[in-house]
Structure 1
Amino acid sequence: MDDQHCTFGLWYDFRNPARWPRTFTDFYAQSLEQIRWAESRGIESIWLTEHHFMADGYTPSPFVVAAAIGAQTDTVRIGTNLIVSPLHNPIRLDRGGGHGYSQPAVPAFGRAVRNRPSLLEEGVDLIRRAWSGEPAEFHGKRYDFPALPVTPQPEIAPRLLVGAMAEQAIERVARIGDGYLSTQNAHHEMYLDALERVGRSRDEGRIYAGQWAVVADDPEREWARIGEHALYQINGYIEMGAFGPPDSIPRFGTPQDLVDGGAFTLWDVDTAVTELTALLVSRPQIKDVHFWAQLPGEPVDSGSARIELLTSKVVPQVRAAVAADRQEASA
């Protein structure tokens, strides 16, 4: 794909809270149907994330889900944003990962929490060696493997993308990753600065930008309808330790608190076009922008209405505006 082409995609966590009851069978079937339909409307990427031991079924096996999606689609790129790399055998994966923050899951998989950074770094090294097709022994601090071939070798090796939010972790991304999995667009400059500190050019940067935005014709009315689902999602991440020790991070009280605190943004079509165009013009390093397909517990059809708006009204205008800006700049 043309490196100047920014793809637009959807993000899935497959959380199914008991508060909004439905069977997992129906939920997964409807979601796969939605993904097939979204591809026909021009969606180009699907992103899956991972957590373990969650009562709402938050995706514990994204590679299994990715295989199911791959069997049902033709052209979409399927990636992970992100998997918890230290919980996996690096010889068997990977695409987009991070060292994770859900502390109870790490010892449950036989890993030490303090070793997450080194597990991630050695894992990235191992994955690249495995994809090279050349068997070589590996003896590190965390992993020890004999010289065995890993086949089939990828015809085109996927990029290894790494997610992070803390400054030290973002510098690790710049040093070892082929690209940066970002959330809420807050750390792009930090990542580009880190590239320069580790001796790489800012122009080498590749950003895959997960958005926490609701796009609707009437976003306030949409928020009144789905805000409780967003509140469940964000407070759940706080409880998992995504933003720091859970005991020290206050929960949001109302959906409006989420908007006031910047956890979610509400865009009508014109605002979405303006914001996304400005983002892509100012950050040519962004290679993909993706939105939550639906929020936890929200009906799949409800999310599909926003996908239809995104693909029919927002994305075409953004593409045209960015192309016009680049043509003007080159002239």
Structure 2
Amino acid sequence: MDVGLYFDLRNPPGWRTDWKRLYSFTLEACEEADRLGIDSLWFSEHHLFDDGYLPQPLTFASAVAARTRRARIGTAVLVAPLRPAAHIAEEAAVVDLVSGGRLDLGLGTGYRPPEFDLYGASIARRYGATDARAREIRAFWDSGKLLPPPAQDRLPIWMGYQGPKGAHRAGLLGEGLLSANPELVQPYREGLTAGGHDPASARMAGALSVWPTDDPERDWPAVREHVRFQNDSYRKHMVEGTDQPVPRPVDPERIRARGITTGFHSLLLATPEEAAAKVREFVGDAPVSTVYFWASLGGMPEEMIMRQVRTVVQDLAPLLRD
């Protein structure tokens, strides 16, 4: 398996730093990870979060592309229904050219009403709209209608679908499935077959909730506070714009106890050796080509983030590649 790092550029009120420094430091972290040999760097998207969650991942990816040399650069995910297909196709092509052909385009449906209201998009039709964007983007690139073209002959598109129905939809499209959940292999391959694609072409990649460290008990008190914020933030913003109440604050100890999953509601804090074994056990024989891990949990200090970057690249990644 290849190994990546995942960034969302949060700047929480409780740990707020200068915005320019946050962005310049994240570029430095990406450069360092690239220099050390990380396989990929991934960027997420949200809007109207009170911590300034990265709103435009392809814009930031272009800056990363100009500052790195070898790592692949991915969106995990770009909220597809918020933008016209032509816009995504053109912007992705520019990033691919700037990077010399290193872009992976991950598309997702989104789920927050305020984001759809902000862009004047329909949340009710988001699944069909996301499927349509993938088809239209691929058609634009195949036709050569939009110039300039991407650097890659077939720029990888990944569908950020997490349930069985979504995995089947990704298969129908013949695109990659942006999930490392082995339970989705069967519906994904069934979708590939139903869509006229070779089921042996199945390819998966995704985030796993792992924080490697040489001393889990030493680091847990500090990691715990950022885990608490990150989970409470997701849960609070998840219900925004709905009639659902704000969920109760999380218990970080319960989050840690759940161990490794593909969601944000758990965290495996372990040595690189234990983490690698758990990742291999979790993934099993699923066709997962890439797994990526948080480079930072919201509001972490720079020295903690850089230590995580180096631990993932130098200590965990070699074990997973082997």
Aligned residues between the structures: 295
The partner residue of 1:64 within 59, 68, 87 is 59
Q: AA paired with 1:22? A: T
1:248 Cα shift?
A: 6.8
The partner residue of 1:305 within 293, 300, 307 is 307
Q: For residues 183-262 of structure 1, what are the structure 2 equivalents within 5 Å?
A: 185=180, 187-199=181-193, 200-241=197-238, 247=244, 250-262=247-259
Q: CA RMSD in A?
A: 2.1
On the 8 A contact 1:174/1:191 being kept in 2, the answer is no
CA distance in structure 2 between the partners assigned to 1:303 and 1:11 by the alignment? 11
Change (3 A) 1:194 1:246: farther
CA distance in structure 1 between the partners assigned to 2:6 and 2:292 by the alignment? 6
Q: Which residue of 2 aligns with 1:159?
A: 156
Q: Which residue of 1 aligns with 2:100?
A: none
Structure 1 counterpart SS, 2:273: helix
Change (3 A) 1:207 1:246: farther
1:304 Cα shift?
A: 1.4
Q: AA paired with 2:127? A: P
Q: Which residue of 1 aligns with 2:130?
A: 120
Structure 1 counterpart SS, 2:293: strand
Structure 1 counterpart SS, 2:125: helix
Q: Which residue of 1 aligns with 2:18?
A: 23
Q: Which residue of 2 aligns with 1:129?
A: 139
CA distance in structure 1 between the partners assigned to 2:77 and 2:10 by the alignment? 15
On the 8 A contact 2:209/2:294 being kept in 1, the answer is yes
CA distance in structure 2 between the partners assigned to 1:241 and 1:18 by the alignment? 18
Q: Which residue of 2 aligns with 1:323?
A: none
Structure-1-length-normalised TM-score: 0.83
Q: AA paired with 1:176? A: L
Q: Which residue of 2 aligns with 1:43?
A: 38
Change (3 A) 1:105 1:29: same
Q: AA paired with 2:306? A: S
Structure 1 counterpart SS, 2:190: helix
Q: Which residue of 2 aligns with 1:137?
A: none
Unaligned runs of 5+ in 2: 93-104, 260-265
The partner residue of 2:116 within 96, 106, 112 is 106
CA distance in structure 2 between the partners assigned to 1:103 and 1:64 by the alignment? 23
Change (3 A) 1:62 1:81: same
Structure 1 counterpart SS, 2:48: coil
On the 8 A contact 1:160/1:177 being kept in 2, the answer is no
String of CA shifts for 1:260-298, please: whole Å, max 9, x gaps. Answer: 344111111220232234456623x11111111111100
Change (3 A) 1:247 1:191: farther
String of CA shifts for 1:36-83, please: whole Å, max 9, x gaps. Answer: 111111112110010011121101111110111011111111110001
On the 8 A contact 1:192/1:205 being kept in 2, the answer is no
Q: AA paired with 1:295? A: L
Q: AA paired with 1:304? A: M
CA distance in structure 2 between the partners assigned to 1:155 and 1:85 by the alignment? 21
Unaligned runs of 5+ in 1: 1-5, 135-148, 321-331
Q: AA paired with 1:111? A: A
Q: AA paired with 2:268? A: T
Q: For residues 72-83 of structure 1, what are the structure 2 equivalents within 5 Å?
A: 72-83=67-78
String of CA shifts for 1:228-256, please: whole Å, max 9, x gaps. Answer: 111111222222328xx783784443311
CA distance in structure 1 between the partners assigned to 2:32 and 2:243 by the alignment? 38
Q: AA paired with 1:105? A: E
1:11 Cα shift?
A: 0.3
Structure 2 counterpart SS, 1:113: coil
The partner residue of 2:85 within 90, 103, 113 is 90
Q: AA paired with 1:12? A: F
Structure 2 counterpart SS, 1:282: coil
Structure-2-length-normalised TM-score: 0.85
The partner residue of 1:272 within 270, 275, 285 is 275
1:116 Cα shift?
A: 0.7
Q: Which moved more, 1:153-162 or 1:9-18?
A: 153-162
Q: AA paired with 1:236? A: S
Q: Which residue of 1 aligns with 2:285?
A: 282
Q: Which residue of 1 aligns with 2:263?
A: none
Change (3 A) 1:165 1:249: farther
Q: AA paired with 1:224? A: P
